[in-house]
């Protein structure tokens, strides 16, 4: 085991998979000489050349389409979309082409495309560079959606995505890039899709924390513990497929649940998770399902306004405490 | 190249392909009316020369992307009429097991990466195939068919820019049938010859008579040679005409009978048949033999489709993903 950053974990995984398989390529805006605007692709172009690490024009539709066409003909492209906010520019290629290619062909098309996407608010980036679009795509059958929250998951889930056969939207939270954690040295270390992680065990309330909300949920759990409230923190790791069993088992144990994500509250990923719990586990609950999420306005520029809109540690603490205090 | 320089075998192959495209469409239309085919059809009657001519210039391991008006492209690339008809009839034996229908037929073994329900949707995908061939140093070509309407989509321009920049082995084949759905091309673009759009992307743009199968063949052959030798992409515009509506049932109130009659007088299949007889001196008996064989093929295709099973409803849930992840329901 080594301690590395989330960003290094992604870089290393790309490098290792490109060394292992000549069919793995990386294409995207500024992924080559620039090294990625977040620095994630680093020196890959020097290691693998401009044939396999390609700077593209600012043409999101062509980038995603090229990923799909190259996957159908034998490559395993990693496609980088610099900001999740730009995904709608490639809307048709993502939603109508990439997600549906296998199904429309009667299951015959292999579509090993990993779309690496940055998500979340980095601070005062305003409405077109701060969104968390994961939920937009949960409504489109055909994608797998990964939301790694730790360096180990960034590595293990990315490797699973690159070696898999399906299109994966891989959401990297910008505020997690510098976070550190232990990562396995096993060159085949994979994290399977559809297996949530219990990040902290507890008995009083379940906090389902997605992506960038995991550090905040763990911080909230520390604060709650000082009040004698033991929170169990669940990290779904992938939204599609969703590990319902682990979430339901935790809710069964705690009878209370807070779902935290940075996406907007209305029809964010938490809406699906809440509906799933209501459908399959309502009998376990002692009270309402709580959601902590961005308020339903575009992300504003001003730090004061942005902080008001984004979900915080205090919001999680308050919701969890409220559920516990309303018991009995 | 004069028609007399072509081998009889090549000429008859081109005629057979055009005729099979034409007759497939007419049979599909009649079978839809008869109730065998549940979905809609955008027929390519009148556009046979572009499909047959372009695909005849490709090798078996070259690939194509197609369009909503794609039956002809698939037939010309070697698609089996019986699997196509079965797909239109929504049967398990069809190319997509009944999940795709007219707009999404694929056969990866034949290099058919898919018809497409979105105008311009296949163009970036063909660029991706060209990327594979370049990265893997394969002497293969990707050809993307699209209509005049698609050249007004952003995807067209993004795709040509990328292919021009990277000199990818791609042929962009625009079938300019003069209408984007129900609106004439002149009301959709400020240029008449769409091939000039190539000039922005540093690739040749060639306009040919899209109803002349030999002109299409030769232009595509030149583009394919260029692509295979590292010369990069080409935009070919074949001017043609959609003899029937945008879709079967289109009332076509947006164009005149005179215009339609004029273009029917330039029917590519009829014209080529006449040239085979008069200019190439091919005995009519050989042509008739092909015509009979095409009818037999289509009779068999319809019988195959009609006799094939319909999918079990619950199989709708299969084939979304390649991996099951331990049986998890997504």
Which structure tokens are listed for A131? 């969104």
Average pLDDT value for chain A: 97
Residue B87 contacts residue B98 (beta carbons within 8 Å): yes
Give CA torsion, residues B102, A94, B110, B84, to 10 deg.
-10
Listed as ranges, residues in chain B with pLDDT below 70 are 326-330
The verdict on residue A188 lying in a domain is no
Instruction: Please state, for a pLDDT cut of 70, what percent of chain A lies above it.
Output: 99
Determine contact, residues B114/B141, Cβ cutoff 8 Å. Answer: no
Query: Which pLDDT does position B323 carry in this prediction?
Result: 80
> Active-site residue numbers of A?
60, 129
Nearest to B319 among A57, A106, A243 (CB): A106
Q: What's the fold here for domain B3-317?
A: Rossmann fold (3.40.50)
Q: Is residue A190 part of a domain?
A: no
Helix (H/G/I), strand (E/B), else coil: B190? coil
Is A191 inside any structural domain? Answer: no
- In chain B, what residues touch A86 (CB-CB under 8 Å)? none
Q: How far is A61 from chain B (nearest CA, A)?
A: 6
- Identify the closest residue of chain B to A106 by CA–CA distance: B96
**CB pair distance less than 8 Å for B320 and A102:** yes
Query: Nearest Cβ partner of A62 from B99, B124, B320?
Result: B124
- A35-52 pLDDT, tens digit per residue, is 999 999 999 999 999 999
Which among B94, B158, B319 is the nearest to A103, CB-wise?
Answer: B319
Model ipTM? 0.95
Q: Give the CATH number, domain containing residue A214.
A: 3.40.50.920
Tokens representing residue B325 in the block: 């992840």
Q: How far is B274 from chain A (nearest CA, A)?
A: 39
To the nearest whole angstrom, how far is the Cα of A302 from the nearest Cα of chain B? 34
Would you say A145 and A137 are in contact if contact means Cβ atoms under 8 Å apart?
Answer: yes
Last residue of a domain, one of A120, A151, A183: A183
Range of the domain at A34: 2-183
Instruction: Find the residue in A nearest to B116 (Cα).
Output: A97
Is residue A41 domain-shared with residue A104, that is, in the same domain?
yes
What pLDDT, on a 0 to 100 scale, did the predictor assign at position B328? 62
Contacts of B126 in chain A (CB under 8 A): 69
Q: Which of A151, A183, A215 is the last residue of a domain?
A: A183
Residues in chain A with CB shorter than 8 Å from the CB of B115 are none
When CB atoms are compared, the residue of A69, A142, A164 closest to B113 is A69
Q: What is the pLDDT of residue A326?
A: 84
* Backbone region of residue A264 per phi and psi (left: phi > 0; alpha: psi in -120 to 50; beta: other values): beta
DSSP 3-state assignment of A253? helix
Contact check, Cβ <8 Å, A65/B95 = no
- Asked whether the beta carbons of residue B95 and residue A106 sit closer than 8 angstroms, the reply is yes
pLDDT score of B324: 75
pLDDT at A327: 62
Do A273 and A169 fall into the same domain? no
Taking contacts as CB-CB distances below 8 angstroms, the residues of chain A near B113 are 69, 72-73
pLDDT digit string, tens, across residues A75-88? 999 999 999 999 99
Supply the pLDDT for residue A280: 97
Contact A194 B131 (CB under 8 A): no
The pLDDT assigned to A328 comes to 44
- Give the C-alpha distances (Å, rounded to integers) separating B297 from B21, B31, B292: 12, 15, 9
Domain range list for chain B: 3-317
Beta-carbon count within 10 A of B328 CB:
19
The 10s digit of each residue's pLDDT in B149-206 is 999 999 999 999 999 999 999 999 999 999 999 999 999 999 999 999 999 999 999 9
- Looking at the structure, tell me whether residues A15 and A126 fall in a common domain: yes
Taking 50 as the threshold, does the pLDDT of residue A60 lie above it? yes
Nearest to B63 among A73, A108, A166 (CB): A73
**Chain A, nearest residue to B160 by Cα:** A62
Residues B156, B150 contacting (CB under 8 angstroms)? yes
Strands of the sheet containing B205-209, edge to edge, are B63-65, B142-147, B170-176, B234-239, B205-209
CA distance B43 to A229: 67
What pLDDT is attached to residue B330?
A: 59
Q: Which residue from B minimizes the CA distance to A109?
A: B108
Give the whole-angstrom CA distance, residue B323 versus residue B102: 27
**Which of A183, A216, A233 marks a domain boundary?**
A183
- Interface A-B: count of C-beta contacts within 8 A: 167
Cis bond leading into A241, ω under 30°? yes
Read off the tokens for A278. 């209501």
Question: Tens digits of per-residue pLDDT, A133-182?
Answer: 999 999 999 999 999 999 999 999 999 999 999 999 999 999 999 999 99
Q: What is the pLDDT of residue B327?
A: 60
The single residue listed with the structure tokens 């590292």 is B230
- With CA atoms as reference, the chain A residue closest to B153 would be A61
Q: What is the CATH number of the domain that holds A77?
A: 3.40.50.970
Angle of helix B8-34 relative to helix B284-307, nearest 10 degrees? 40
The structural domain count of chain A equals 2
As a whole number of angstroms, the distance between CA A233 and CA A183 comes to 20
């Amino acid at each position: 085991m080594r301690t590395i950053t989330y960003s290094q974990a992604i870089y290393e995984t790309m490098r290792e998979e490109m060394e292992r398989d000549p069919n793995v390529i990386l294409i995207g805006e500024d992924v080559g000489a620039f090294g990625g605007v977040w620095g994630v692709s680093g020196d890959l172009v020097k290691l693998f050349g401009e044939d396999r690490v390609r700077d593209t024009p600012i043409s999101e539709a062509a980038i995603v389409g090229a990923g799909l066409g190259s996957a159908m003909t034998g490559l395993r492209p990693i496609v980088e979309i610099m900001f999740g906010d730009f995904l709608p520019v490639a809307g048709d290629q993502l939603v109508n082409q990439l997600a549906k290619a296998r199904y429309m062909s009667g299951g015959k098309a292999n579509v090993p495309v990993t779309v690496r996407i940055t998500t979340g608010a980095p601070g005062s980036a305003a409405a077109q560079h701060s969104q968390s679009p994961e939920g937009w795509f949960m409504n489109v059958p055909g994608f797998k959606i990964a939301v790694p929250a730790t360096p180990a998951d960034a590595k293990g889930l990315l490797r699973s995505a690159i070696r898999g056969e399906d299109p994966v939207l891989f959401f990297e939270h910008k505020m997690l890039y510098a976070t550190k954690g232990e990562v396995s040295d096993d060159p085949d270390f994979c994290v399977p899709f559809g297996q949530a992680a219990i990040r902290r065990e507890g008995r009083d309330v379940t906090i389902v924390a997605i992506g960038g909300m995991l550090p905040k949920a763990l911080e909230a759990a520390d604060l709650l513990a000082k009040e004698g409230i033991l929170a169990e923190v669940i990290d779904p790791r992938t939204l599609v497929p969703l590990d319902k069993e682990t979430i339901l088992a935790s809710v069964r144990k705690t009878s209370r649940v807070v779902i935290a994500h940075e996406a907007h509250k209305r029809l964010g990923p938490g809406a699906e998770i809440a509906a799933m719990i209501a459908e399959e586990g309502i009998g376990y609950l002692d009270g309402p399902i709580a959601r902590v999420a961005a308020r339903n306005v575009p992300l504003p520029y001003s730090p004061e306004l942005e902080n008001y809109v984004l979900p915080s540690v205090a919001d999680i603490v308050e919701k969890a405490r409220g559920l516990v205090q309303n018991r009995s | 190249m004069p028609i007399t320089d072509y081998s009889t075998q090549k000429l008859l192959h081109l005629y057979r392909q055009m005729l099979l495209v034409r007759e497939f469409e007419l049979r599909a239309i009649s079978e839809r009316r008869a109730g065998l085919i549940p979905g809609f059809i955008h027929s390519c009657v009148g556009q046979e020369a572009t499909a047959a001519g372009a695909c005849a210039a490709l090798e078996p391991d070259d690939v194509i992307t197609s369009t909503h008006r794609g039956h002809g492209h698939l037939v010309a690339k070697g698609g089996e009429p019986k699997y196509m008809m079965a797909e239109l009839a929504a049967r398990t034996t069809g190319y997509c097991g009944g999940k795709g229908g007219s707009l999404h037929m694929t056969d990866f073994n034949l290099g058919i990466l898919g018809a497409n329900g979105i105008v311009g949707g296949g163009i970036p995908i063909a660029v991706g195939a060209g990327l594979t061939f370049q990265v893997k140093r394969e002497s293969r070509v990707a050809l993307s068919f699209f209509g005049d309407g698609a050249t007004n989509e952003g995807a067209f321009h993004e795709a040509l820019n990328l292919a021009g920049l990277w000199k990818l082995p791609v042929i962009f084949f625009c079938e300019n049938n003069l209408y984007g759905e129900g609106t004439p091309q002149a009301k959709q673009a400020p240029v008449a010859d769409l091939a000039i759009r190539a000039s922005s992307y540093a690739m040749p743009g060639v306009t040919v008579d899209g109803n002349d199968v030999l002109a299409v063949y030769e232009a595509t052959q030149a583009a394919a040679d260029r692509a295979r030798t590292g010369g990069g992409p080409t935009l070919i515009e074949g001017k043609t005409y959609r003899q029937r509506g945008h879709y079967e049932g289109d009332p076509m109130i947006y164009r005149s009978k005179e215009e339609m009659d004029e273009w029917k007088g330039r029917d590519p299949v009829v014209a080529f048949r006449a040239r085979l007889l008069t200019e190439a001196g091919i005995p009519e008996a050989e042509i008739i033999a092909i015509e009979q064989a095409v009818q037999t093929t289509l009779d068999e295709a319809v019988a195959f489709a009609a006799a094939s099973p319909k999918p079990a409803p619950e199989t709708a849930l299969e084939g979304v993903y390649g991996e099951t992840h331990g049986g998890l329901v997504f």
